[in-house]
């Protein structure tokens, strides 16, 4: 299901107001993160997981939407030249732990796709994915190794720096998992950064990044 998020007044960026059944159409599509067109998600769960890193709506409304005209897809979001909201939907409500797991899964997947290694972080991530109680103690080392890797590649905002920053954010999310708002922000940042690193590594990655699938995996 294609999903559009809005604030509680059915408004999006720049005060754009939406109404059910009324198509909005832009003169051009534009680039993914530039003016033109309308953003949406290919899945409601993906929308909820990434809201904090994108529009950051407080307590957003969710709508099934129908895209029209030209469109483009990225692993984390999509964009279309025209859009109609069909009906309001009930958005899923993942726990803080599920949000953290999503950030870890996406970052792990991108590291594997691009062939980079971050041993301490990866060992910790495996513990998180297995639900091991040992993950808590290993988190300190994971955060330190990711931070050191990000610092080594700073300020070159290239794919390596972005993915190591994502790894650090994923570990930070785990460390504050009991503080739901912070865990939500860190985990969304990790997943969004990992998606950007994946896009920046298009010449070397060896497979597809299915963030919808990873979002559903995080719920199991």
What's the maximum distance between 2 C-alpha atoms anywhere in the chain?
54
At residue 31, the pLDDT reads 86
Q: pLDDT tens-digit profile of 187-207?
A: 999 999 999 998 887 655 456
Q: What is the 3-state secondary structure (H, E, C) of 89-102?
A: ECCCCCCHHHHHHH
The answer on pLDDT for 14 being more than 60 is: yes
More confident residue, 160 or 166: 166
At residue 204, the pLDDT reads 52
Name the phi and psi angles at 115, rounded to 5. 80, 20
Q: pLDDT tens-digit profile of 64-118?
A: 999 999 999 999 999 999 999 999 999 999 999 999 999 999 999 999 988 888 9
Indicate the helix (H) or strand (E) that contains 80. strand 78-89
DSSP structure class, residue 157: -
Q: What does pLDDT average to over the chain? A: 92
Q: pLDDT tens-digit profile of 107-145?
A: 999 999 888 889 999 999 999 999 999 999 999 999 999
Please, which residues have CB within 8 angstroms of residue 53's CB and are 6 or more apart in sequence? 185, 188, 189, 191, 192
At residue 202, the pLDDT reads 65
At residue 50, the pLDDT reads 97
Task: Give the residue-averaged pLDDT of 158-173.
Answer: 92
The tokens for 137 are 């103690």
Q: Using CA atoms, how far apart are residues 139 and 170, in angstroms rounded to an integer?
A: 10
Domain boundaries, the chain: 3-89, 96-218
Residue 9's SS3 state is coil
At residue 156, the pLDDT reads 60
Please, which residues have CB within 8 angstroms of residue 15's CB and are 6 or more apart in sequence? none
The answer on pLDDT for 212 being more than 70 is: yes
Give the percent of the chain with pLDDT over 70.
96
Q: What is the 3-state secondary structure (H, E, C) of 193-220?
A: HHHHHHHHCCCCCCCCCCHHHHHHHHCC
At residue 71, the pLDDT reads 93
Q: Using CA atoms, how far apart are residues 122 and 138, in angstroms rounded to an integer?
A: 10
Task: Give the residue-averaged pLDDT of 173-199.
Answer: 92
The sign of the torsion formed by the CA atoms of 61, 64, 68, 72 equals positive
Decide if 125 contacts 195 (C-beta within 8 A): no
At residue 43 the predicted structure's pLDDT band, cuts being 50, 70 and 90, is: very high
């Amino acid at each position: 299901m294609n999903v559009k998020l809005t604030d509680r007044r059915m408004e999006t960026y720049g005060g754009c107001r939406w109404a059910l059944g009324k198509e909005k159409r832009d003169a051009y599509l534009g680039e993914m993160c530039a003016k033109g067109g309308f953003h949406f998600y290919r899945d409601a769960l993906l929308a909820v997981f990434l809201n904090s890193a994108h529009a950051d709506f407080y307590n957003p409304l969710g709508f099934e939407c129908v895209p029209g005209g030209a469109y483009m897809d990225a692993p984390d979001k999509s964009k279309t030249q025209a859009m109609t909201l069909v009906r309001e939907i009930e958005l899923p409500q993942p726990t803080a732990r599920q949000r953290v797991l999503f950030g870890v899964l996406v970052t792990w997947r991108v590291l594997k796709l691009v062939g980079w290694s971050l041993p301490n972080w990866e060992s910790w991530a495996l513990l998180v994915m297995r639900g091991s109680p040992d993950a808590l103690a290993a988190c300190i080392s994971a955060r330190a190794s990711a931070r050191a890797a990000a610092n080594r590649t700073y300020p070159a905002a290239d794919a390596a720096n972005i993915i190591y920053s994502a790894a650090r954010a994923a570990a930070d999310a785990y460390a504050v998992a009991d503080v739901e708002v912070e865990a939500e922000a860190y985990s969304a940042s990790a997943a969004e950064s990992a998606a950007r690193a994946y896009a920046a590594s298009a010449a070397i990655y060896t497979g597809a990044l299915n963030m919808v699938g990873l979002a559903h995996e995080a719920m199991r």
